[in-house]
Chains A and B, each alone.
Chain A
Amino acid sequence: MNTDEFVRRRPVYLLLDTSASMFGAPIQAVQQGVTLIHRELINNPHAIETVYLSVITFDTTAKQIVPLTSVETFTPPTLKAEGNTALGAAITLLNDALDRELQQNTEGRKGDYRPLIFMLTDGAPTDVWKDAVAKLKARTINKIGSLVALGCGPNVNTETLKAITTDVIKMSDVSPDNLQQFFKWVSSSIQKTSQRIDSKAADDGNLDALPLPTVMKWDKDSNAS
């Protein structure tokens, strides 16, 4: 049977802080985390057919080091830690990528599913970020589904993160094990949404947040649990 050629995708963007403060064990843990996500997704046939991954890193500048790629062709990138924390530039880059890479809804055809965005940072932005965030929030096409921000370590500015999203997670003790648990949680969340596509549940890209590992806690104004 001839079916429609366009296949709706579930885009997932990972925004990773690769500033100098992440040097050493943290950046290695993040590197392993991205590999872990990929390995779990490629073991899940639902995810293989729907999930597309992109990696944006930010240090002194922001770079989309992996454009939106299918799970099968994705290769975990090598991450290096150096420089500042250009979070604003990363959000700007994300906005551009959403404009460029996603298929929007048209008359008679649904576009890509709403993207999931996971952001990890251990510091405060060293560049201008408010305009980029306002632009991200004001999107009318290719709107984002969920944006989860993980603030790790003692130097993170969670007020900044809360200005970006209501889904802020805090991890005080940044050990490789704890980061690993975060990435495991991200991977499970992605798999859960990819499986939900045909289950007639809400599919606006809202994560029905899985319970967080104990090393992390939600940092929300209303319901800190």
Chain B
Amino acid sequence: MTPTVYLLVDPQGWPDPIDPEVVSAILQARLTTLEIRVREVNDRWFEALPTDECVVFLLLTRPTAEGWQTALNGWLDPRHRLYVLYIDGISPNEIREYASLTAAQPIARAPYRIAQHNATGLENAMVWAATVLEKAITIPLEPPPIKVTPARWRHLASNTQDVYYYPENFTTSLAGADGYQLVAASHRGKTHAHQGTFREDATAIATTAYWNIIAVADGAGTAPLARVGSNLAVTRAVAAMVAAMPDPPATEDISRAIWAGLRAAYQAIRAFSTEHDVSLGDLSTTLQLLIHWPQQTGCLLGVAHVGDGIVTAETPDGQYYLLTDPDTDPDESSRTLFLTSGPLRQWLERAKVYQFDEPLDIVALMTDGLSGDLEPYADLLHTNLFEALRDRVLCYPLPQREQALLALISYDRRGSFDDRTVTVLSRV
């Protein structure tokens, strides 16, 4: 057992009153592994000496009241040791008495005279006290610093027995209308892998005699059945858009079909919510829809989006277009909107049709797990997305593109935890 160290400080008698806590802090700073107990005392300090095994430092700043010799004599023994520090003004006789009373104890030291009655004097006095303590007792060692190793990401499988199981990764591809090719990949993010939960992104593709059709959705991470919402949304929207195409279609059929897709997705989620008695919020998902209709020269694009993520397109000469504004306020929050956040009619204006006078080389729809990492300002989008797609995905024949696209989006990036999904329509 290390003896307790006490510091008895009389605030009076010093030129300015001193704060015992401050005095003890000076000593404590030199002996961080010891607990120094400070006690404020007066000239009758000897009446309340500690009784446990201890080393006491007494800061004498004025003469002691009568009777201290007897009290101290009865107290001193090998378990109770005393060291005295004093300032000028205390009689040499009194100091001599202290010296003789404490001379017999182990590691005896004559009383220490504090020559300067200022901060420096106090500092020097505490340096002396620290050196005495280092001799007088075994000071506990500073424990070795414990090196904490950072946690690693876990990779836990999703539960294959779950009624609403979806695989961790998903790819699909399709030869589309007018020589275009469609390829899609969806990758479970680090958060879901760490928790062994499900990928909540979804995508679906289809083609008709005239149109190439794509849907991408991002289920809300906070919603327990988001994957059901996102998958319902993409499959039902795509089926509805296919069914909404008359043969042959007219220009205005594109916006009708896009709207039919939005409505089908919305109604499917509402119906599921009612049938299975789960709240709409549990199925929250974003949704992006695309209908691509190649023309003699150029093309028509029907686009709708609710929530974040982007739809972007590039022409053969490198002109690029961002076709959606994510429903987020970059300044204030990244709160986004979901398909079922409000009534269906609020999305009426979201169905848009663009006419391009030149053909589009690549159109990509992606969830924010990917678009958030790309930070889509002009140059970066070109090099980070379109060039990467050409060099690492579209250079392969269609069947191999699925795995190439999945590999492209399966990168590890600090601070990027989300599922990533991208679906690409390309002319090559």
Contacts and interface: CB of A to CB of B under 8 A. Distances in A.
Chain B binds chain A: yes
Interface of A: 1-4, 6-9, 20, 23, 38-39, 42-46, 48-50, 71-72, 78, 80-82, 105, 107-110, 195, 197-204
B191 A72 contact: no
Given A45-B190, A198-B418, A199-B221, A2 B388 contact: yes
B416 interface: yes
B130 to A, nearest CB: 15
B150 A71 contact: yes
Contact of B333 (A80, A199, A203): A203
Contacts of B345: none
B335 A202 contact: yes
Contacts of B418: 198
Interface stretch (B17-25, B157-165, B290-298): B17-25
B339 to A, nearest CB: 13
A200 B284 CA distance: 10
A53 to B, nearest CB: 13
A72 B150 contact: yes
Given A4-B375, A80-B25, A200 B151 contact: no
B336 A200 contact: yes
B276 interface: no
B375 A42 contact: no
A201 B335 CA distance: 6
Nearest to B420: A1
B374 interface: yes
B331 A198 contact: no
16 contacts: A1-B384, A1-B409, A20-B25, A23-B25, A42-B149, A42-B150, A43-B151, A49-B415, A49-B417, A105-B330, A110-B330, A110-B375, A197-B417, A198-B191, A198-B417, A200-B218
A73 to B, nearest CB: 10
B206 interface: no
Given A7-B414, A20-B22, A71-B150, A200 B335 contact: yes
Contact of B21 (A4, A23, A200): A23
A178 to B, nearest CB: 20
B191 A46 contact: yes
Interface string B321-357: 0000000001111111000000000000000000000
A204 B331 CA distance: 9
A4 B414 contact: no
B412 to A, nearest CB: 10
Contacts of B222: 199-201
Given A20-B21, A200-B335, A203-B335, A108 B376 contact: yes
A21 to B, nearest CB: 8
Given A8-B415, A39-B148, A80 B29 contact: yes
The CB with the most chain B CB atoms within 10 A, among A39, A50, A71, A198, is that of: A198
A102 to B, nearest CB: 14
Contacts of B229: none
A81 B218 CA distance: 51
A200 B148 contact: no
Nearest to A4: B375
Interface string B219-262: 01110000000000000000000000000000000000000000
B5 to A, nearest CB: 13
B152 interface: yes
A200 B220 contact: yes
Interface in B263-315: 284, 308
A113 to B, nearest CB: 9
A43 B154 CA distance: 12
Given A78-B32, A80-B29, A203-B334, A198 B408 contact: no
A45 B151 contact: yes
Contacts of A45: 150-153, 190, 194
Contacts of B332: 204
B169 to A, nearest CB: 16
Contacts of B111: none
A194 to B, nearest CB: 9
